[in-house]
């Protein structure tokens, strides 16, 4: 039995299109869940950071100077790196939950929010410019695969942003130690965000 090649190609294309449709529907559910998951993680990180600060003070042997330090004013305590970082993560969590911080990030990072991966693809001439533009804005998309590519890029954008936050946390907490892993995490997150955009995923969290 001879299989006609056009029929095979049509079947493959239809299968890919159906996959893209299912994937897009899954992402419409995934990103709202990701928003609340991110908020919970940030609250947990903020709590553990502040608890780490308290644990360091409680776990050490109290000298006269440390006893005096425990009696310091609230304003002085809030200047400690652990406390500042913990409060920062709490503010970040509530800002993302309420949406105002996400809007602020989109405005602030707008000058560097370009998706350079797609610009490179467009420069090479592999994909028409109109299609590249539709991949950056799902509201303009015509074909399901264009929305799928946008979602995939958004996932990498989120991972890069998360690496920036965690790398920054470790660098601040271990500023007095050699902690190359946190620096690598920060640099990789920064490079990732430059390639796929700092704010590509953020509209999906609103």
DSSP annotation of 62: P
98, 119, 143 - which closes a domain:
98
Convert the pLDDT of each residue in 106-146 to its tens digit. Answer: 888 877 777 777 777 766 666 777 777 888 888 888 888 88
Is residue 152 within 8 A of residue 146, CB to CB? The reply is no
What is the number of alpha carbons within 13 Å of residue 132 lying toward its C-beta? 16
Asked if 68 and 142 sit in the same domain, the reply is no
Q: Are residues 46 and 130 in the same domain?
A: no
Q: Which is more confidently placed, 173 or 98?
A: 98
Say whether pLDDT at 193 is over 60.
yes
Confirm if 70 and 57 have CB atoms less than 8 A apart.
yes
- Asked whether residue 9 is assigned to any structural domain, the reply reads no
Claim to verify: residue 84 and residue 125 sit in the same structural domain: no
- Do 73 and 118 belong to one domain? no
One-letter-per-residue 3-state SS of 64-102: HHHHHHHCCCHHHHCCCHHHHHHHHHHHHHHHHHHCHHH
DSSP class of residue 118? H
Whole-angstrom CA distances from 6 to 3, 9, 11 are: 9, 5, 9
Kindly state whether residues 205 and 120 are assigned to the same domain. yes
pTM score, whole prediction = 0.76
CA distance 81 to 88: 10
Spatial distance between the Cα atoms of 72 and 75, rounded to a whole number of angstroms: 8
Task: Tell me if 128 is assigned to some domain.
Answer: yes
Query: How many other β-carbons are positioned within 10 Å of the β-carbon of residue 199?
Result: 19
Whether residues 48 and 89 share a domain: the answer is yes
User: Which H helix or E strand runs over 189?
Assistant: helix 180-196
Question: Looking at residue 1, what is its pLDDT?
Answer: 42
Q: Do 206 and 159 fall into the same domain?
A: yes
Residues 206 and 114 in one domain: yes
Q: Above 80 in pLDDT, residue 176?
A: no
What pLDDT was estimated at residue 81?
66
CA–CA dist 45, 73 (Å, integer)? 25
Q: 128: buried, middle or exposed (CB in 10 Å: 19+, 13-18, 0-12)?
A: exposed
More confident residue, 152 or 51: 152
Residue 68 has pLDDT above 70, yes or no: no
Is residue 10 one of the residues assigned to a domain?
no
Q: Which domain holds residue 127?
A: 110-206
Same domain, 129 and 195: yes
Instruction: Provide the pLDDT for residue 64.
Output: 46
* Whole-number Å distance between alpha carbons of 46 and 170: 12
pLDDT of residue 151: 92
**Residue 169: which of 48, 37, 40 has the closest Cα?**
48
How many domains are contained in the chain?
2
């Amino acid at each position: 039995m001879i299989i006609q090649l056009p029929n095979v190609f049509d079947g493959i294309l239809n299968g890919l299109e159906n996959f893209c449709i299912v994937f897009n529907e899954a992402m419409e559910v995934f990103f709202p869940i990701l928003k609340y998951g991110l908020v919970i993680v940030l609250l947990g990180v903020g709590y553990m950071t502040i608890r780490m600060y308290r644990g360091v003070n409680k776990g050490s042997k109290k000298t006269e100077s440390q006893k005096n330090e425990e009696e310091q004013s609230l304003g002085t305590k809030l200047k400690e790196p652990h406390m500042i970082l913990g409060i920062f993560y709490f503010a970040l969590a509530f800002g993302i939950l309420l949406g105002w911080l996400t809007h602020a990030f989109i405005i602030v990072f707008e000058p560097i929010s370009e998706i350079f991966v797609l610009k490179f693809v467009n420069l090479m001439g592999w994909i028409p410019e109109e299609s590249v533009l539709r991949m950056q804005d799902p509201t303009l998309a015509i074909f399901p695969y264009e929305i799928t590519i946008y979602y995939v890029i958004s996932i990498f954008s989120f991972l890069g942003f998360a690496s920036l936050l965690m790398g920054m946390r470790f660098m601040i907490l271990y500023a007095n130690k050699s902690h190359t892993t946190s620096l690598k995490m920060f640099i990789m997150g920064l490079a990732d965000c430059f390639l796929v955009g700092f704010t590509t995923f953020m509209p999906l969290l609103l």
